[in-house]
Structure 1
Amino acid sequence: MIQFEGVTKVYNSGGNEVRALNGIDLHVKQGEICGVIGFSGAGKSTLIRTVNLLERPSSGKIIVDNLDLTALSQKEVRQVKRKIGMVFQHFNLLNSKTVFANVAMPLLLAKASQKEIKQRVTELLSFVGLEDKANQYPDQLSGGQKQRVGIARALATQPSILLCDEATSALDPQTTGSILKLLKKINQEYNITILMITHEMSVIREVCDRVAVIEGGKIIESGSVFDVFSNPQTKTASNFVSSVLNDSIPESVLKLVQEENAQGQIFKINFVGKSSGQPLLSQIAKRFDLDINVLFGNITELQGIPFGHLIVELQGAKSEIKRALLVMNQENVTVKEVEVHAS
């Protein structure tokens, strides 16, 4: 469990105060994968580095497994930090050490026995699929393999929490997918709580249970991945969601609609769960005196639940459109009118 209570972080730069974190309140539950997403400079890297006190907050509390880290002695903090693993964007491996030695480093620092080190490192390299790379060096590995070494190293001391600082940003899409599957496996098999920061909403959709959106050092929106994706409450969250779901009218379609000076009204219809497979528009077209023009749409899956959207133009009398909207709103779908202005 990780809890942020009123956390602030202020830097002094050239005599000016820079507030990187501005009153962060966030609760990460035991055993979940929570993603924090934000644009560059939003404060997400500072936020994750406060969890293991690589950045000490200026005020507020960082509570890990019911212990307020800001109130502990240096010795007590070192003990707690053994239960917090961290995976870095650029791997942070020692190029002069073998893969085995890199993974063993935290255990050496913890003064584990050689027998314990050999057993644990061998187990972890097998877990991440690198048992045949133990005697190789980082320069001999691909980016994905380097990150697997970094993950194995982060797991060496059997942490209860794993921090991922843009862990897939330096990887290609295919390798990113394999690393995310590995993180999901770690979460499920070891019951490790994972807090990850990213600027990629596709990463959030792939593995996270919950998501928090950070902007200007503040958490501006948080909730389950399904809730935030299906109904974002802030402009920033909506922009991130749109980058993954492609839920806006393509420019080419928008241009056609504007050029034709369409007389109908345009609506965005969101479908959830069973409603995604229902022939709703067909039923509406048969029941009401309307022409329905489908402009754009797709369907995806969020946390195992089908979720889709359509952007449609309804042409006909306003009274018929109003009656059709009443019916659609009773069918477990959400309907919002889209404003289209001629350029």
Structure 2
Amino acid sequence: MIEFQNLVKIYNSGGKEVHALNNVNLKVNKGEIYGVVGYSGAGKSSLIRCVNYLERPTSGKVIVDGHDLSKLSEKAIRDVKKNIGMVFQHFNLLNSKTVFANVAMPLVLAKTPKDKVIKRVTELLEFVGLADKADVYPDQLSGGQKQRIGIARALATQPSILLCDEATSALDPQTTSSILELLKKINEEYKITILMITHEMSVIRQVCDRVAVMEDGKVIEEGSVFDVFSAPKTKTAQNFVSTVMHDQLPESILNMIKENGTKNVIRIHFIGQSTGKPLLSQLAKKFDIDTNVLFGNITELQGIPYGNIIVELQGPDTEVQRALQYMTTNEISYKEVNTYVS
């Protein structure tokens, strides 16, 4: 549906070249919600703006629904863009026009017959839960309501692709959650492919199927939300994941481990049905060791239970090694804490 091939975007700033995108290769499949996360300046906004040619790439290809945009005429690009809706961080509504007029704007510009405009706008306002706000003005709406209107406007021309550029960054957590649920509903009911740009990993976790992590204009990690969240490979991805998974030991516990010279502290991961198995009880019964739980939680990623605990194995070294071998034999994932955190 959307593919970036060796995409490069260079800006000229004060006589210097700024490489916003550096050989980016990504593919967004039809019907999925794909998230791109990164810190400010990572290049993610430049990436999404290349999809509808708000920014023209310096080199490389942007392929949308089979069309290589670099090979199309201006008219052909405009035709492709009609199939792409965009939702902005700061709503971009016209304060001088009513809610109805704002949603109708793309249809009016496309010279859609009036009766079809009325029908489509009425349908969309009902869909986003603001049918009673048709005649009010944007200044009379809350931030969440404004974004719902922005989303309705983006859907007016019945696009197959929806681009969301930091669409929830200006909203409070509760409103963010409701907007994300709306986007999920759009994806499921309208079968629209969604590409989301954000710096909030909680957004990725709640609605996305796959995610790419960007840094300095490059994609440094990419995969399913489950894979990236459960086993982040890069330091940047680990930092992002830790903001929502809360899987790090408190500083006081880390200091205690260092001061006491505590050893045999391991992090154990449980996935799916294994989260319900009494592993620690089994270890204590099978081997001459005690297990001291230092930290633990269970969450859900893409509908799959995911558990994470940090324990100290106390006992003779030979017994501890037997216990670790038992976990390895039974394909139970674990890591020594002192190699996981620095």
* TMscore range, shorter length: over 0.9
Percent identical pairs in the alignment equals 69
Query: What are the Cα deviations for residues 93-119 of structure 1, in whole angstroms up to 9, with x where unaligned?
Result: 000000000000000111101011000
Matches of 1:43 and 1:147, distance apart in 2: 23
Aligned amino acid, residue 276 of structure 1: T
The total of aligned residue pairs comes to 341
Q: Which residue does 2:241 correspond to in 1? A: 241
**After superposition, where does 1:193-208 map in structure 2 within 5 Å?**
193-208=193-208
Q: 1:332 to 1:130 in 2, by over 3 A?
A: farther
Q: Which residue does 2:163 correspond to in 1? A: 163
Matches of 1:237 and 1:317, distance apart in 2: 36
Gaps of 5+ in 2: none
Aligned amino acid, residue 109 of structure 1: L
Work out whether residues 90 and 170 of structure 1, in 8 Å CA contact, stay in contact via their aligned partners in 2. yes
Matches of 1:241 and 1:166, distance apart in 2: 18
Work out whether residues 258 and 340 of structure 1, in 8 Å CA contact, stay in contact via their aligned partners in 2. no
Aligned amino acid, residue 193 of structure 2: T
Q: Which residue does 2:291 correspond to in 1? A: 292
Matches of 1:171 and 1:259, distance apart in 2: 43
Q: Which residue does 1:271 correspond to in 2? A: 270
Matches of 1:231 and 1:95, distance apart in 2: 46
Q: Which residue does 1:224 correspond to in 2? A: 224
1:63 to 2:34 alignment = no
Q: What SS is found at the alignment partner of 2:179?
A: helix
1:340 CA displacement: 8.1
Q: What SS is found at the alignment partner of 1:136?
A: coil
Q: Which residue does 2:7 correspond to in 1? A: 7
1:18 to 2:2 alignment = no
Matches of 1:28 and 1:290, distance apart in 2: 49
1:292 CA displacement: 1.0
Q: What SS is found at the alignment partner of 1:96?
A: coil
**After superposition, where does 1:1-343 map in structure 2 within 5 Å?**
1-262=1-262, 264-339=263-338
Matches of 1:188 and 1:17, distance apart in 2: 42
1:332 CA displacement: 4.2
Query: What are the Cα deviations for residues 132-164 of structure 1, in whole angstroms up to 9, with x where unaligned?
Result: 000000000000000000000000000000000
Aligned amino acid, residue 21 of structure 2: L
Q: 1:15 to 1:335 in 2, by over 3 A?
A: same
Query: What are the Cα deviations for residues 15-56 of structure 1, in whole angstroms up to 9, with x where unaligned?
Result: 111000000100000000000000110000100000000000
Matches of 2:329 and 2:264, distance apart in 1: 20
Aligned amino acid, residue 188 of structure 1: E
1:199 CA displacement: 0.5
Query: What are the Cα deviations for residues 50-90 of structure 1, in whole angstroms up to 9, with x where unaligned?
Result: 00000000000100000011211111111111100000000
Matches of 1:272 and 1:329, distance apart in 2: 15
Matches of 1:200 and 1:272, distance apart in 2: 24
Matches of 1:243 and 1:338, distance apart in 2: 18
Gaps of 5+ in 1: none
Matches of 2:168 and 2:66, distance apart in 1: 30
Matches of 2:14 and 2:127, distance apart in 1: 48
Matches of 1:226 and 1:330, distance apart in 2: 24
1:322 CA displacement: 1.4
Aligned amino acid, residue 317 of structure 1: P
Q: What SS is found at the alignment partner of 1:329?
A: helix
Q: List 4+ stretches of structure 1 deviating above 6 A.
A: none
Matches of 2:249 and 2:154, distance apart in 1: 43
Aligned amino acid, residue 270 of structure 1: H
Matches of 1:339 and 1:224, distance apart in 2: 27
TM-score by length of 2: 0.98
Query: What are the Cα deviations for residues 162-195 of structure 1, in whole angstroms up to 9, with x where unaligned?
Result: 0000000000000000000000000000000000
